[in-house]
Structure 1
Amino acid sequence: MASSSTSSLHFLLFLLLISQSYGQQSFRPHALVLPVAKDAATLQYVTHVNQRTPLVSVNLVIDLGGRFLWVDCDLSYVSSSYLPARCRSAQCSLAKSTSCGECFSSPKPGCNNNTCGLFPGNPFISTSTSGELAQDVLSLQSTDGSNPGTVVTVPRFLFTCGSTFLLEGLANGAKGIAGLGRMPIAFPSQFASAFSFHRKFAICLSSSTTSNGVIFFGDGPYVFLLNKELSNSLIYTPLLTNPVSTAGVSTQGEPSYEYFIGVKSIKISEKRVPLNASLLSIDNNGFGGTKISTVNPYTTLETSIYKAFSEAFIREATSRNITRAAPVAPFDVCFSSKGIGSTRVGPAVPWVDLVLQSENVYWRIFGANSMVYVNDDVVCLAFVDGGSNPRTSIVIGGYQLEDNLLQFDLATSRLGFTSSLLFRQTTCANFNFTSNV
């Protein structure tokens, strides 16, 4: 294993290599933008980038806590600019690769001698494999915060080659996974290094399967239709580090690259839910706590938390004369939609507060993010039982993130969030993807 001084040298050389590559470009973006669609069949969130030479549009499933970009190299990966990362190179050091391998067939993308590797994984089916670390051209659009702008190129974007079988369970047409985690070679850090902007990104997932949400890399403004600039509406809470990796494959002592926050309690209609508070902290073995994930379609709660939460919700709903209905999988708690009023922020049901570092800082979840209409007559509580001994006690899922703007600041380790944008008479589908160039 390389010494810390050697690793630091590799990192500095890599940054120099990046700066030389981008110094040739006359335009430096303030920020970058990607559209993100909700796949109706899988409830996954899908974006696309252009990669390779010549450029090919590649559909990717978003994994908020994913460690890096991986794409399928087994089928039809053709590129004249593909370069594998050689063992003990600066690229391998930056990627925290600890493996060095050979390939016993003719050279091709994903199969070269004396190259380092990582372990691309599909968290939707909990499967990982080994894959070659490489670099290739990647391009996407810049933004001024209001519209997409000039297309910019990263000539040596680091990624990992995955295998075709890892595509199982991904949205139709997806060729890999885009990792947005806290790893040095995940999307946010590579883009920040490439273009010298703030190491932060913001994600705004659309609740619609026909209109795109948006991901911004870099700082705001974040301007949506009706001239809603949202960066000034953010509420902040610290991002926490789980000291134990939550990845499918990891090395001893490696922390998690996923995003954890410090939920201290849960309230329903401002009444505290009685639960075992120790489950809300991350213990020395990496168990417990609260993380944010785009892998889970709905928020999962450890069994005892779920039981207390659902019972409290039912009590509050019943007090509003809301009638129970038979459960509809995967939901255990459902209600008749008759008699439930409609508000700007969704069905008129008890609101949920995730209380954070103080009683005055909370993430309020309204009906639009707490209830799912499973048919015209039945609406269900969009939280599910996560089991009696899960790795993480609370996993905030995609449905609870929709039409909320979330800003992840990696440099200061804090999360900014808005709660529902419906209150502000806009949605995540309201970014204007009409180019201003």
Structure 2
Amino acid sequence: MYMARKAQRPFPSINIFIILFFFFFSFTLSPFSPQVVSASAFKRLQLFSTEEAQPSSTSSVLSLSLHPHSSIIKLPYDNYSDLVLSRLASDRARAKLINSNIERAVSTFNRRHAVKPDVQVQPEDLKTPLTHSEGGYLARIGVGQPVKEFHLIADTGSQITWLQCLPCDPCYEQSDPIFDPSGSSSFSPLSCASQECTSLEKNQNCKADPCTYKASYGDNFSSMGEFATETVSFGSSGSVDKVAIGCGHTNQGGFGGAAGILGLGGTPVGFPSQIRATSFSYCLVDMDSNSSSSLEFNSAPPGDSVLVPLIINPRIEAYYYVELTGVTINGEKVSIPASDYQIGEDGRGGILVDSGTAITEFPTQVYNSVRDTFVKYARALPPASGFDYGPVKLDTCYDLSSEPTDGYPTMSFEFHGGKTLSLRPANYLIRVDTSGKHCLAFTGSSERVSSERVSIIGNRQQQGMRVTYDLTNKLIGFSPNQC
């Protein structure tokens, strides 16, 4: 177990005139207009400000290699169907946890604003929706001085970046050697008074240095330890000093043998904020391939990107939302009601983009319309029985063992403002066994009233394209064939 280390004289009238003139002149030249922002939004703006950047920060492009989990770490499955079932079961659990987190955040926010100012309401313990290891992507990142490299699960739904550290009890088995902070000259524990520590939701009452963190996940996975700053390295493309990361001394769950989590979420302690990145982007190759791509920071969106507004939910800043207005299949548009794709005043609803969820989830009535329209135009494809095992229910499947080259409907996402993103069959169908069965990679929500739930664009629809999160201009870009 580790140890938690005088009144002013009036101006003459002519001076007042001069002061007002220069005030007006400087105001009109300013590139910023005055605005009122919430405390949390102001904190976010501060952390993205270039004036606040640490001396070691850089605006040059930083790049990490990005690999499907199964191409790096051997998985304990005898057949492909078992692997798919495990992936999809955890995928549904993740989607449920995301919705649960948002509901808790909304409820907590509403309670805070419903009580008297002198009554303290503590935030609820929100769990991070882990990218399920077998269906996730691993980024290779360097930590410490001298540099040691580790495979971390890259996840837009996670906030804290952490890795297992010595000494640890318990530890789980990982493919890389466990990081030893005593061997790094750049490792520096954070104090309770540090901005990074006070940004952690659970550390508002931290009293004994050093600062500690706890990250809780679904399936009883968790990590707890010191919150510290370290130098992180991006292969040969550069490094950034004093990045806040968790050094996990007490860890539960396997995390698929990965050394920890690279948290790409939108909060102040998220990795993009910590390295003062203007953007980040990734390209997800097929999760069953041995290919790799890159996770980049500070790179501009490719010129052919479909750019749509990036929206932050004021009730929970962790996730990245877009306004997806419909799905078009063979020219027929299935519209999504505004009440579903827009975030409500209470913080519910909306559509977020997630790197760790595989299957896109819509409200049930939207999904049913998408499915029925797809079936109408996919009659040339040989039908097959559904894939229905417990929490995993995919009801629209086809036997593609003969590898047909035609008969596939065209499909596209339609975004607010008239932007269109075309999808390939590999984006809307997912293989579920070795015999050639493929199913529609969409599902309907199964919890409560669907209009109160968030929709999720999963990673299946993102594969084979570069997805850019332009944090400065608040845009998300989708660019096919830019891996």
TM-score range, shorter chain: 0.7 to 0.9
What's the secondary structure of 1:160's corresponding residue? Answer: strand
* Offset from partner CA, 1:200-255 (integer Å, 9 cap, x none): 111111115311121111124xxxxxxxxx7111111001111222xxxxxxxxxx
Match of 2:416 among 350, 353, 357: 357
Alignment pair present for 1:206 and 2:285: yes
Structure 1 residues 133 and 338, CA gap change in structure 2 (3 angstroms)? closer
Alignment pair present for 1:217 and 2:297: yes
| Counterpart for residue 138 of structure 1 | 232
| Counterpart for residue 18 of structure 1 | 54
Q: How far apart are 1:277 and its partner, in Å?
A: 4.2
| Counterpart for residue 404 of structure 2 | 341
Match for 1:369: what amino acid? Answer: N
Match of 2:467 among 396, 400, 406: 406
| Counterpart for residue 346 of structure 2 | 285
What's the secondary structure of 2:291's corresponding residue? Answer: coil
| Counterpart for residue 224 of structure 1 | none
* Offset from partner CA, 1:37-64 (integer Å, 9 cap, x none): 1123511111121113443222111111
| Counterpart for residue 154 of structure 1 | 240
Alignment pair present for 1:313 and 2:407: no
Given that 2:190 and 2:211 are in contact with CA atoms closer than 8 Å, whether structure 1 keeps it comes out as yes
Given that 2:280 and 2:470 are in contact with CA atoms closer than 8 Å, whether structure 1 keeps it comes out as yes
Alignment pair present for 1:368 and 2:463: no
Structure 1 residues 309 and 188, CA gap change in structure 2 (3 angstroms)? same
Q: How far apart are 1:275 and its partner, in Å?
A: 5.4
Structure 1 residues 386 and 13, CA gap change in structure 2 (3 angstroms)? closer
Partners in 2 of 1:36 and 1:201 — Cα distance? Answer: 13
Q: How far apart are 1:388 and its partner, in Å?
A: 3.6
Structure 1 residues 209 and 125, CA gap change in structure 2 (3 angstroms)? farther
Give the stretch that moved more between structures: 390-399 or 209-218: 390-399
Given that 2:387 and 2:395 are in contact with CA atoms closer than 8 Å, whether structure 1 keeps it comes out as yes
- Superposed, which structure 2 residues align to 1:70-89 within 5 Å? 70-73=162-165, 74=168, 75=171, 76-80=178-182, 81-89=186-194
Higher radius of gyration, 1 or 2: 2
Given that 1:302 and 1:388 are in contact with CA atoms closer than 8 Å, whether structure 2 keeps it comes out as no
Alignment pair present for 1:59 and 2:154: no
| Counterpart for residue 177 of structure 1 | 261
Structure 1 residues 137 and 336, CA gap change in structure 2 (3 angstroms)? same
Given that 2:427 and 2:461 are in contact with CA atoms closer than 8 Å, whether structure 1 keeps it comes out as yes
Match of 1:258 among 319, 323, 330: 319
Q: How far apart are 1:392 and its partner, in Å?
A: 4.3
What's the secondary structure of 1:369's corresponding residue? Answer: helix
* Offset from partner CA, 1:263-282 (integer Å, 9 cap, x none): 11222222122655422222
Alignment pair present for 1:34 and 2:136: no
Give the stretch that moved more between structures: 54-63 or 72-81: 72-81
Given that 1:47 and 1:61 are in contact with CA atoms closer than 8 Å, whether structure 2 keeps it comes out as yes
Structure 1 residues 15 and 157, CA gap change in structure 2 (3 angstroms)? farther
Between structures 1 and 2, the one with greater helix share = 2
Partners in 2 of 1:7 and 1:323 — Cα distance? Answer: 54
Match for 2:241: what amino acid? Answer: P
Alignment pair present for 1:271 and 2:332: yes
What's the secondary structure of 1:48's corresponding residue? Answer: strand
| Counterpart for residue 137 of structure 2 | 45
Partners in 1 of 2:279 and 2:426 — Cα distance? Answer: 27
Partners in 2 of 1:334 and 1:163 — Cα distance? Answer: 45
Structure 1 residues 325 and 115, CA gap change in structure 2 (3 angstroms)? same
Name stretches of at least 5 consecutive residues in structure 2 with no aligned partner: 1-38, 76-133, 172-177
Give the stretch that moved more between structures: 33-42 or 153-162: 153-162
TM-score, length basis structure 2: 0.66
Structure 1 residues 355 and 16, CA gap change in structure 2 (3 angstroms)? closer
What's the secondary structure of 2:378's corresponding residue? Answer: helix
Match of 1:238 among 302, 305, 309: 309
| Counterpart for residue 121 of structure 1 | 216
Name the Cα RMSD after superposition.
3.3
Between structures 1 and 2, the one with greater strand share = 1
Partners in 2 of 1:238 and 1:14 — Cα distance? Answer: 22
TM-score, length basis structure 1: 0.73
Name stretches of at least 5 consecutive residues in structure 1 with no aligned partner: 23-27, 103-112, 142-149, 193-197, 221-229, 246-255, 422-426, 429-437
Q: How far apart are 1:323 and its partner, in Å?
A: 2.8
Q: How far apart are 1:334 and its partner, in Å?
A: 0.4
What's the secondary structure of 1:158's corresponding residue? Answer: strand
Percent of aligned positions that are identical: 23
Structure 1 residues 151 and 337, CA gap change in structure 2 (3 angstroms)? closer
Partners in 2 of 1:7 and 1:379 — Cα distance? Answer: 45
What's the secondary structure of 2:64's corresponding residue? Answer: strand
Partners in 2 of 1:12 and 1:340 — Cα distance? Answer: 48
Given that 2:408 and 2:425 are in contact with CA atoms closer than 8 Å, whether structure 1 keeps it comes out as yes
Q: How far apart are 1:127 and its partner, in Å?
A: 5.3
Given that 1:202 and 1:215 are in contact with CA atoms closer than 8 Å, whether structure 2 keeps it comes out as yes
Partners in 2 of 1:315 and 1:292 — Cα distance? Answer: 27
| Counterpart for residue 300 of structure 1 | 361
Match for 2:279: what amino acid? Answer: K
Give the stretch that moved more between structures: 48-57 or 365-374: 48-57
